[in-house]
Amino acid sequence: MNDTIGTAIRLRRRALGITQARLARLAGLDQPAVSRLESGSRLPPLPVLERVADVLGLRLTISLEAAPPDGPADRPLR
């Protein structure tokens, strides 16, 4: 999932013709943070994703799907 988010951010940033450094400034981050985000090396906190999405004109959506039968959701909580 992280690399999918990072790829979307990288593609949009490039389509807009802005550098990682400029995106970082506009989103209140540093350039290495943008690089990590685009590479998918780690998932940033939701507020960071919201700022980056806003700067890039992207809509941030979150999708949660049910676990398959006999998956974690079918097991009792402890």
Tell me: the pLDDT tens digits for 11-28? 999 999 999 999 999 999
Q: What φ, ψ does residue 10 adopt, rounded to 5°?
A: -60, -45
| Three-class SS state of 21 | helix
pLDDT: which is higher, 77 or 49: 49
Q: Dihedral sign, CA of 63, 16, 3, 34?
A: negative
Tell me the three state secondary structure of residue 37. Answer: helix
Q: Burial level of 47, CB count in 10 A (0-12/13-18/19+)?
A: exposed
Domains and CATH numbers, the chain: 2-56 (1.10.260.40)
Residue-wise pLDDT for 28-74, tens only, equals 999 999 999 999 887 889 999 999 999 999 998 877 777 777 665 55
